[in-house]
Structure 1
Amino acid sequence: MGQGNGNAPPHARDKRGEFLKGRPPVFKHSADPLQADDWLRAIERQLEIAQCDDKEKVLYASRQLQGVALDWWDSFRFGHTKANPITWAEFRSAFRTHHMPAGLMKLKKEFLALKQGSLTITEYHDKFIQLSRYAPNEVDEDGKRQELFMEGLNDGLQYQLLSHTFANFQQLVDKALVIETKRCQMEDKKRKFQGQQSRSNSHFRANPQQAQPQQRYQG
């Protein structure tokens, strides 16, 4: 009797192996909601790369939990009353609620109150991007992002940028960097000039006879 068409069954892709290949981080516990969110984002990225389905996402992600975080997951899983399996959306929501509760609201307030102050534009931009993920509704449009970024800038820089219109957020950041660089160059030149004047004045004070014209001897 024949063996069919002789084609071998397609080789099943090892999604877990592909997931682990990216060295997904382990999560135990952290009082800092940023670290919990960073873990979740890293795990999601690896799950997407491995093209995992909903069931696999929950299974693989939960295996990266240890210690107190694993205790939480066991408690949540055993207390799950629904007949259907836990979805990735449920896992994600429950994880964020448990590990990033009050901290999220605090970080959102910190973002909305963020000011440049003594920060450079690069430092302010990095802080802005880092905290903006805790206020997604406030930055879900490019115009909103530009407005909030502009409001946090120091008054002098903000005044120089108000007369411009920017096609997107990155253009605003780039222009702010250009102005900051030019301002730093001008301040550096001013300091050097003032330093030269100060050294010149000190020289004359130390040698007053050089500062006065010599008088001719009257016989």
Structure 2
Amino acid sequence: MDDLGDLASGQNVALVILSFLQADCGTSEYKNELLSLREAFNLTRDINLNGRRQDDGDLETDGHLFSSITAARGDVAPSVELQWPRNRAEEADLRQITNGLREIADQFEHNVVAEATRNLSRNISASPSEQWKDHLRWEVDRAMKRGVGLEHLPQERVIVALTLTLVKGVCERTPRLLRNLFDTVLQRFGPARAR
């Protein structure tokens, strides 16, 4: 992905893809699938300490035991965010790539994306997952040939943004397909992809 910066690691590619897919996600089922996928790639951190174990009964500054606070919060859903790299420059680069892809995706004409999403959804539901990569590539190529009006932008970025937009559209409709489509995108755009 020459135009996308240094995404040499599969972890960085996964982080950009997940960051793109989680923006403005709708249904709770889709959100749950995203959370499961982020955890599978170890790309999350629990920002409200739900996963933190401090059940040793330490006394807090207000005189209460920490374990009683933890027990009282037991029914609170974890609040997680993506685990960005510790290197601030690398994090900034990855966030910039993700934001650039979102800006490109926002520029697509709604009817092109809606039609392509319907076609992709129909095609992958009627074929084995081994063929999904071909269906995804074919639908992106078809939409690009129709002309999305973004010829002034780096075409590799446009292709990635369109691909992720289609995947997101399909997965919002059918969240259970997220993991397989995510793997398909990683195969296509990951650092070990065929050149």
Bin the TM-score by the shorter chain.
under 0.3
Work out which structure has the larger RCO, using CA pairs closer than 8 Å and 6 or more positions apart in sequence: 2
Question: TM-score, normalised on structure 1?
Answer: 0.23
Q: Which has the larger radius of gyration?
A: 1
